[in-house]
């Protein structure tokens, strides 16, 4: 047992592993990452190292070089696969999309118009249009008759429609029964 741990002297091979990693990656930082990943994989698979295969020191060195090379190849394959996935995604993705600013502006306008409604109309419209309640459920939730709910919905929808058509929501003018709509002089 003692012999096996003494033949697994990785520290003595670090300089050679770093040189080989730099030769493979051509980048100092990538080489260091590669050596670390290779050492991790070697440590995890140390049971697979057989010092009896050839010269023990040369066997460890060759085995570590093989582990390092395999980690390098695995990384390269993973990068190629990722690049291929990105290429395929780029082929099916739309070249350009609608500008998000217009959509956000439109939503802000709708929100402002909704929030500008009187409280009764806003509550009625919210329960029916957003929460999906039926007329009877919404009327019961608000504690009002169903006809009143429908009237509030109609006024709220009319106000939003007027804003949508470019106008300004106005309150309907009252008509005087039995009199004239003309202003008195």
**Which helix H or strand E contains 87, and what residues bound it?**
helix 56-92
| Domain shared by 132 and 68, yes or no | no
Domain C-terminal end among 73, 92, 111: 92
Q: What is the pLDDT of residue 146?
A: 94
pLDDT surpassing 50 at residue 20 = yes
Residues 77 and 28 in one domain: yes
Structure tokens at 89: 């995604």
Q: Which two tokens stand for residue 65?
A: 């070089």
Give yes or no for residue 170 having a pLDDT over 70: no
Confidence at residue 4, expressed as pLDDT on a 0 to 100 scale:
45
* 1 band by pLDDT with thresholds 50, 70 and 90: very low
Asked whether residue 181 is domain-assigned, the answer is no
Here the CATH number for the domain that contains residue 7 is 1.10.1740.10
pLDDT at 93 (0 to 100): 80
d(CA 167, CA 181): 23
| 64 lies in the same domain as 83 | yes
Structurally, the chain folds into a number of domains equal to: 2
In a shared domain, residues 9 and 78: yes
Question: Which pLDDT band holds residue 103 (cuts at 50, 70, 90)?
Answer: confident
CB atoms near residue 174 (< 10 Å): 7
| Residue 60 and residue 118 in one domain | no
Same domain, 87 and 131: no
pLDDT band at 7 (very low <50, low <70, confident <90, very high): low
Q: Is residue 109 predicted with pLDDT exceeding 50? A: yes
If pLDDT is split at 50, 70 and 90, which confidence band does 56 have?
low
Q: What is the pTM of this model?
A: 0.47
**CA–CA dist 128, 117 (Å, integer):** 15
Do 22 and 84 lie in a common domain?
A: yes
CB 65 within 8 A of CB 20: yes
Least confident of 32-41, 46-55, 132-141: 46-55
Same domain, 83 and 106: no
Give the best-scoring range by mean pLDDT among 2-11, 40-49, 55-64, 96-105. Answer: 40-49
Domain match, 12 and 55 both:
yes
Say whether 10 sits in a helix, a strand or coil.
coil
Q: Which domain holds residue 46?
A: 2-92
pLDDT class for 14, splitting at 50, 70, 90? very high
CATH number assigned to the domain comprising residue 140: 1.10.10.10
């Amino acid at each position: 047992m003692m012999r096996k741990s003494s033949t697994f002297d990785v520290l003595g091979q670090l300089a050679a592993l770093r040189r080989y990693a730099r030769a493979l990656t051509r980048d100092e930082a990538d080489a260091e990452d590669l050596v670390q990943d290779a050492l991790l994989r070697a440590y995890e698979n140390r049971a697979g190292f057989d010092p009896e295969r050839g010269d023990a020191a040369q066997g460890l060195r060759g085995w570590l070089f093989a582990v390092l090379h395999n980690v390098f190849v695995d990384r390269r394959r993973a990068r190629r696969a990722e690049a291929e996935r990105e290429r395929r995604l780029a082929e099916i993705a739309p070249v350009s999309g609608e500008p998000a600013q217009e959509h956000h502006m439109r939503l802000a306008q709708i929100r402002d118009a909704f929030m500008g409604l009187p409280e009764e109309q806003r509550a009625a419209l919210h329960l029916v249009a957003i929460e999906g309640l039926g007329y009877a459920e919404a009327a019961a939730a608000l504690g009002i008759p169903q006809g009143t709910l429908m009237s509030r919905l109609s006024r709220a929808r009319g106000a939003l429609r007027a804003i949508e058509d470019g106008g300004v929501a106005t309150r309907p003018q009252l008509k005087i029964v039995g009199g004239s709509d003309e202003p008195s002089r």
